[in-house]
Structures are given as structure tokens and as C-alpha cells.
């Protein structure tokens, strides 16, 4: 199965539009294939309860995530963007998440200057064996975004 078809399949399985303030919350979760996606998959396999109001975008490595993709998600109407990858030191490609961490930290600091509440962007690390941690991370993030409600406006 090609990656895009897998993403679609994973995304559609993970989506259940919860309605807050009259419209569904849209959360994008960008997960690296080797750790966080496997952790999320493990949470599903273990039937750990988790929110359904997010769409997963599976990437080979967090080092592949261009910060512009995050801006694009917000521009296109995302209410929150969560990025998760392998723990520092565990990247499948050795150092991809070290580069990613630098980019995401700058992004985290920039987001409020764009008029986006800082709680709407989060990056973290979840390994393939941390299904329970994934459950906690995604539940906390999606709940926080839902409490903020839909983001006003589209322009950055
Ligand atoms: Fe997971 Fe690089 S492969 S962060």
C-alpha cells in the first residue's frame, strides 16, 4: 500500500468530528513513522481511549517536517497542530529529530506572534512502545484545543 493511501486510511480511522461552538474541531497530528505513529497505532491496538478529533499525517521523520507545513495547516483552517517523533537520540535516521527540535522550538516561539494561541501548537516525542504516553499527549492536546474552541480567521 502506498504511503498516501495509508495516511488516508489512518486519518479516516482517527477522525470523528466533535463539534465545538458550532463547527468541528480540526487538529492535525504529524507523526513520524518509526516511533510516534507506531505508538499511536499501539494505543489503538490496546484500545486505549483517545479523542477522535484529529487527523494523522504520517511522515518518515520529524526532520522532514518543514515549518511551512505547520503554517499551511493553520492557514487552511487547522485549530491545532501536534507534532511527535522519536525521542532525541532514538531517531531512525540518527539526527533528524535534533534538526527538527531546533526548528520546532523556533516555531513554538513564533506562533504567538502570528496571532495563534501558543496552546494550539505542540511538539513532543513518543516512542513506539509508549502507547499510554501517546494517549496522554493526544488527549491533553486535543482537549486543550477544544477548550479554546475553533480558531478565528484563516489568514496568518
Ligand atoms: Fe522518528 Fe526521525 S525517524 S524522528
Residue pLDDT, tens place only, 50-98 = 998 899 999 999 999 999 999 999 999 999 999 999 999 999 999 999 9
| pLDDT one-digit tens code per residue, 109-148 | 999 999 999 999 999 999 999 999 999 999 999 999 999 9
CA torsion, ordered 29, 19, 9, 36, to nearest 10 deg: 20
**In the chain, where the domains are located:** 3-148
Tell me how far the alpha carbon of residue 11 lies from the centroid of ligand 1, in angstroms: 20
Ligand 1 site residues (CB inside 6 A) read 32, 34-35, 61-63, 85-86, 91-93, 96-97
Q: Show the DSSP H helices in the chain as ranges.
A: 3-14, 36-45, 67-75, 96-110, 131-148
The fold of 3-148 is Rossmann fold (3.40.50)
Partners of 54 in beta bridges: 27
Amino acid at each position: 500500500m502506498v504511503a498516501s493511501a495509508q495516511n488516508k486510511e489512518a486519518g479516516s480511522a482517527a477522525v470523528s468530528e466533535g463539534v465545538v461552538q458550532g463547527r468541528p474541531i480540526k487538529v492535525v497530528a504529524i507523526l513520524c513513522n518509526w516511533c510516534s505513529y507506531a505508538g499511536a497505532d499501539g494505543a489503538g491496538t490496546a484500545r486505549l481511549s483517545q479523542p477522535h478529533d484529529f487527523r494523522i499525517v504520517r511522515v518518515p521523520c520529524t526532520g522532514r517536517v518543514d515549518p511551512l507545513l505547520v503554517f499551511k495547516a493553520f492557514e487552511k483552517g487547522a485549530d491545532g497542530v501536534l507534532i511527535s517523533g522519536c525521542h532525541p537520540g532514538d531517531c531512525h535516521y540518527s539526527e533528524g529529530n535534533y534538526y527538527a527540535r531546533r526548528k520546532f522550538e523556533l516555531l513554538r516561539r513564533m506562533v504567538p506572534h502570528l496571532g495563534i494561541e501558543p496552546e494550539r501548537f505542540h511538539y513532543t516525542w513518543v516512542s513506539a512502545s509508549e502507547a499510554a504516553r501517546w494517549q496522554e499527549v493526544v488527549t491533553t492536546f486535543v482537549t486543550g484545543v477544544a477548550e479554546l474552541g475553533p480558531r478565528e480567521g484563516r489568514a496568518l
